[in-house]
């Protein structure tokens, strides 16, 4: 597959960011945007083991190479964080990917970040934490909110596709267990099964520690941890989309979706 690289820039003013990127639905990497976050120095495997090691946290389990079932959703397990750190530090092969909603599981993590000026005054926001071992790949999916993805340690690679090209991704039904997912592996697509994806104009974003990556609303994206990595993202919406985001959360709760 051929990829075009996502633009990398110094952090712009909030006004420039909104005008050039949010309003135009245009991905961008803001380099060194989070260098002043306490998380950049605090978030090590030792820190998580010492402070939170006794806690059980959700972890996505890969079953037979698949992270989810199209009817049931993601396959979540639970693991003590100290045990997960031990797996990573020992280089022990495993099939777990620690992912959780920060405000529900570990709100103390917000003490270690500084909310960027691009979303500091929003009426609705959510956050998710990502702790992955080397060569861990996510699924190709999209999210309604705007997204600022902060890479704390390690390196990640994202493949993206414009929201206007949803017809190319063979998205799962809205009534499935994964209504915002695609069965396509964007890095290594099965073009016999998904021929429309052959000509998809994909973007590639390569994240270094300290990068803040803007993923526009409803853009398709797939993450791949190149090495062991720690990340946290900040979702937000403004205006009429606040009601839509709240309705989407209610829809997920009522249907008991595991996403």
pLDDT in tens, 75-113: 889 999 999 999 999 988 888 999 999 999 999 999 999
Burial of 198 (0-12, 13-18, 19+ CB in 10 A): exposed
Say if residues 38 and 224 touch (Cβ distance below 8 Å). Answer: no
Q: How far is CA 239 from the centre of its chain?
A: 23
Supply the pLDDT for residue 66.
Answer: 65
Model confidence at 240: pLDDT above 80: yes
Supply the pLDDT for residue 232.
Answer: 98
Mean pLDDT of 125-135: 95
Supply the pLDDT for residue 51.
Answer: 97
* Tokens matching residue 134: 């080397």
Residue 52, sorted as left (phi over 0), alpha (psi -120 to 50) or beta, turns out to be alpha
C-alpha dihedral, 241 to 165 to 6 to 180, nearest 10°: 50
CATH number of 3-255: 2.60.120.650
Taking the complete model, does pTM exceed 0.85, yes or no? yes
Q: Which residues pair with 220 in a beta bridge?
A: 161
pLDDT in tens, 44-57: 999 999 999 999 99
Percent of the chain whose pLDDT exceeds 70:
98
pLDDT in tens, 152-178: 999 999 999 999 999 999 999 988 989
Model confidence at 63: pLDDT above 80: no
For the chain, the structural domain boundaries read 3-255
| CA–CA separation, 183 and 61 (whole Å) | 17
């Amino acid at each position: 597959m051929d990829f075009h690289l996502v633009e990398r820039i110094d952090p712009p003013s909030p006004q420039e960011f909104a005008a050039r990127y949010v309003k135009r639905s245009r991905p961008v990497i803001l380099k060194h945007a989070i260098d002043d976050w306490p998380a950049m120095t605090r978030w090590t495997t030792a820190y998580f083991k010492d402070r939170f090691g006794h806690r059980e946290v959700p972890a996505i389990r890969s079953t037979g190479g698949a992270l989810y079932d199209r009817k049931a959703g993601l396959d979540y397990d639970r693991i003590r964080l100290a045990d997960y750190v031990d797996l990573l530090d020992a280089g022990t092969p495993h099939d777990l990917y620690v992912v959780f909603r920060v405000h529900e599981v570990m709100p103390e993590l917000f003490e270690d970040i500084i909310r960027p000026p691009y979303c500091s005054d929003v009426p609705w926001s959510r956050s998710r934490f990502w702790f992955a071992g080397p060569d861990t790949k996510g699924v190709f999916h999209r999210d309604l909110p705007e997204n600022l993805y902060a890479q704390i340690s390690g390196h990640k690679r994202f493949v993206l596709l414009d929201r206007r090209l949803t017809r190319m991704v063979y998205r799962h039904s809205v009534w499935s267990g994964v209504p915002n997912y695609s069965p396509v592996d964007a890095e290594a697509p099965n073009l016999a099964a998904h021929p429309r994806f052959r000509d998809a104009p994909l973007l590639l974003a390569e994240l270094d520690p300290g990068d803040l990556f803007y993923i526009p609303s409803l853009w398709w994206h797939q993450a791949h941890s190149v090495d062991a990595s720690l990340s946290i993202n900040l979702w937000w919406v403004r205006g009429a989309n606040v009601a839509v985001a709240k309705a989407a959360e209610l829809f997920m709760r009522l249907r008991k979706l595991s996403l």
